[in-house]
Amino acid sequence: MTKQIVLTGGSSGIGLELLKLLLENEHRIAVVARSRDRSDELQNNFRSNGLEVFIADLSVQAEVVHVARMIREKFGRVDILFNNAGVMLEKIIRSQQGNEMHYEVNTLSPYLLTLSLKSALMQSADPLVVNTATDGLHQIPNVNVGELLHPKSNQAPLGMYLYSKLSLALLMKHYSEELNRDRIRVINASPSGNKTKMSMGKGMPIWMKPLVTLFYKHPQHGATLLYSAAFGEEHLGKTQMYLQNNKVKEIRSSINDEQASDLLSGLKVDAAT
């Protein structure tokens, strides 16, 4: 059955390989690209009636809300949202809203996009949100919300990356009752280690670079894991799962109402639903 799908981070790496899989299976895809150049490249490379490209900088909250409105108007119904876009930077920088960029793009942006597409997701018979997570989230005992909100200048970027990915999963779990009421399922899926611009970039610690070269796989591997999270029969009807290598792992950490409120304090716009 053809699904109507929104995919962020679909112009390179794992997202690009996932886009290929989705188009091969004849789904209708809305890809959110960061720039006109990336949009043009996608449209030139994939001359498919099933592909629509929308432009938005996901670090700018007003653009997140705007692109969601454009997708709602064009698609009407969204069956699956792949929150795949993410960053792992070499240093601490701030977004237009003044938030640390890992927190902005990896936590707030996908949360805001999910809320902004909620009315379209609710038009689906089985609405699903798949968040691209990372390995090891089940091994982190606690999330340090303060480090995300007020990082030190010498804060380790890898730590910010891990905390920001975990915080998204915890936020959606904290508000799972509301999402369940709207029948929206959530799966957090790790694509495992893949050789991408992110994993080969300056944000990756130097000691990790040899491991990436030796052991990380082609992005197609990660794309297959994300696709399986969404379409695998063993996951149908399930929600609030964390998958590592397509196996369910329990995230031990949690957040309370105050921490959830603190995490959402970085949102400066209202979601248009």
Measure the CA–CA gap between 51 and 174, rounded to whole angstroms: 33
Count of Cβ atoms closer than 10 Å to residue 237 Cβ = 7
Would you state the pLDDT for residue 261? 96
Would you state the pLDDT for residue 206? 62
Only one residue has tokens 């895809």, namely 29
Mean pLDDT of the chain: 91
Residues in the chain: 273
Could you report the per-residue pLDDT of 102-153, keeping only the tens digit for each? 999 999 999 999 999 999 999 999 999 999 999 989 999 888 899 899 998 7
Which tokens belong to 62? Answer: 């007003």
- Residue 168 contacts residue 105 (beta carbons within 8 Å): no
- pTM, two decimals, is 0.93
Where do the domains of the chain lie?
4-264
Would you state the pLDDT for residue 192? 80
Residue 47 scores a pLDDT above 70: yes
Cα–Cα nearest to 29, from 87, 79, 84: 79
What number is the average pLDDT over the span 29-42?
89
**Range 4-264: architecture per CATH:** 3-Layer(aba) Sandwich (3.40)
Could you report the per-residue pLDDT of 227-265, keeping only the tens digit for each? 999 999 999 999 999 999 999 999 999 999 999 999 999
Which tokens belong to 241? Answer: 């799962």
- Residue 17 contacts residue 220 (beta carbons within 8 Å): yes
Could you report the per-residue pLDDT of 174-221, keeping only the tens digit for each? 999 999 999 999 999 999 876 666 655 566 566 566 665 666 678 899
What share of the chain in percent tops pLDDT 70? 91
DSSP code at position 157? H
